Amino acid sequence: MRNMRIDSIISKIRIKKWKKDGAIIGDNLHMERNSYLDSSFPWLITIGNNVTIAPDVLILSHDGSTQKAIGYSKIGKVTIGDNFFIGCKSIILPDTVIGDNCVIGAGSIVKGVFPENTIISGAPARVMQSLGTFKEKNERRLESGNVFDISYTRKGKITKEKKQQMLEVMESSKNSFVV
């Protein structure tokens, strides 16, 4: 597994390049390893402020499949709002607009227009629930669940003992959270 600091540096370099190539990217973009914006048409992509993109996400602004059929590639804008999370291995396709305060579930294939304050998931993606409902459900789970502090993470330099403790606690409960 690569060093997280190296991944962070690589991500910052890629973001700087995409901005130079015309992508509009807001403040506080956190992009995990192996996630990419379409390098062929980055100027068609807009990403808001306070966005987290999990590993292995693709944001595409062109569709090369039409090239073989009609001799031209389909292109389309992608607009992603503020305060946003995209789950790992998701694909955002051309001609997609997603409002502020949304969460995209892992493995989703997203195309179309989606309102703000929603949870979006699936292949093809659809609105699953409101952000408010999502928060309420998880706040209830948090109240009855296990909460691990920063010392239970790689960032907090988790020990072997704490890893084992976490595994044991999670054997009896599905509601576990980490700060």
Taking only the tens place, the pLDDT of each residue in 34-88 is 999 999 999 999 999 999 999 999 999 999 888 888 888 999 999 999 999 999 9
Taking only the tens place, the pLDDT of each residue in 123-167 is 999 899 888 888 888 888 888 888 888 898 888 888 999 989 888
Give the pLDDT confidence score for residue 28 in this predicted structure. 94
More confident site: 36 or 172: 36
**pLDDT reading at 2 higher than 70:** no
pLDDT tier, 8 (very low <50, low <70, confident <90, very high otherwise): confident
**pLDDT reading at 108 higher than 60:** yes
Angle at 74 between CA 68 and CA 78, to 5 degrees: 145
Which of 62, 77, 111, 141 does the annotation list as catalytic?
62
**pLDDT reading at 173 higher than 90:** no
Domains observed in the chain: 4-130 (2.160.10.10), 145-178 (no CATH)
30 is catalytic: no
